[in-house]
Amino acid sequence: MATERTLSIIKPDGLEKDLIGTIIERFEEADLQPVAMRMTRLSEREAEGFYEVHKGEPFFDELIEFMTRGPVIVMVLEGKNAIERNRMIMGATDPAEADEGTIRSDFANDVGENIVHGSDSPENAEKEIRYFFSDTDIYERNVE
Ligand code: ADP
Ligand code: MG
């Protein structure tokens, strides 16, 4: 299993529900280490750019409104097989279909407001990390 990096976002509903610590704890317990992190509030333009692939979907406007309604935490998680393992810890997009014990099953309201984002492929991880972070924002962990 290769060490990978993936982009994680705690969405506005995650902050509204005071889940920052709980969510990061789940990643740390799974040896997905944050190597970059910040709180930001997405502009409409930033949210639309980030979710460009969903432009034209019926839920697009609702998604942009949701993602811009309050601050988010954007972070880079690093670990073995990080992209797939983060998606496992998150659970399915629709919390009603998410496995028990996943973040979305435990905390999400519905398919739109589902607490977390996670990159779904190495290509998208690379692109999404670049969208928010430059090399100097990303730190080596476990070094003296
Ligand atoms: P995921 O976040 O699991 O990768 P998608 O990439 O399919 O899911 O969708 C991106 C985001 O768009 C979802 O996390 C969710 O916030 C929103 N979304 C997806 N499908 C719907 C839907 N049917 N209705 C409302 N919002 C949706
Ligand atoms: Mg997706």
The CATH number for 107's domain is: 3.30.70.141
Residue 124 lies in a domain: yes
* Number of domains present in the structure of the chain: 1
Nearest CA owner, ligand 1 atom 18: 112
Residue 116 lies in a domain: yes
Confidence of residue 142 (pLDDT cuts 50, 70, 90): confident
Least Cα distance to 70 among 19, 124, 125 occurs for: 19
Residues with Cβ within 6 A of ligand 1? 54, 59, 62-63, 93, 111-112, 114, 117, 120
CA–CA separation, 80 and 41 (whole Å): 29
**Digit-coded pLDDT (tens) for 58-106:** 999 999 999 999 999 999 999 999 999 999 999 999 999 999 999 999 9
**CA atoms within a 13 Å half-sphere pointing along the CA-CB vector of 117:** 23
Residue 117 appears among annotated catalytic residues: yes
Confidence of residue 143 (pLDDT cuts 50, 70, 90): confident
- pTM of the shown model: 0.98
Ligand 1 centroid vs 32 CA: distance in angstroms?
23
Q: Tell me which residue range forms the domain holding 64.
A: 3-137
DSSP state of 55: T
CA–CA separation, 95 and 18 (whole Å): 18
- Residue 137 scores a pLDDT above 90: yes
| CB within 8 Å of 122: residues ≥ 6 apart | 4, 83
Q: State the average pLDDT for the chain.
A: 97
Ligand number nearest CA of 124 is 2
Mean pLDDT of 103-124: 98
% of residues, the chain, pLDDT over 90: 97
Mean pLDDT of 116-124: 98
Of 65, 83, 88, 111, best ligand 1 pocket probe by most atoms within 8 Å of the beta carbon: 111
Residue 44 lies in a domain: yes
| Residues 104 and 98 sit within 8 Å (Cβ to Cβ) | yes
Ligand number nearest CA of 90 is 1
Confidence of residue 144 (pLDDT cuts 50, 70, 90): low
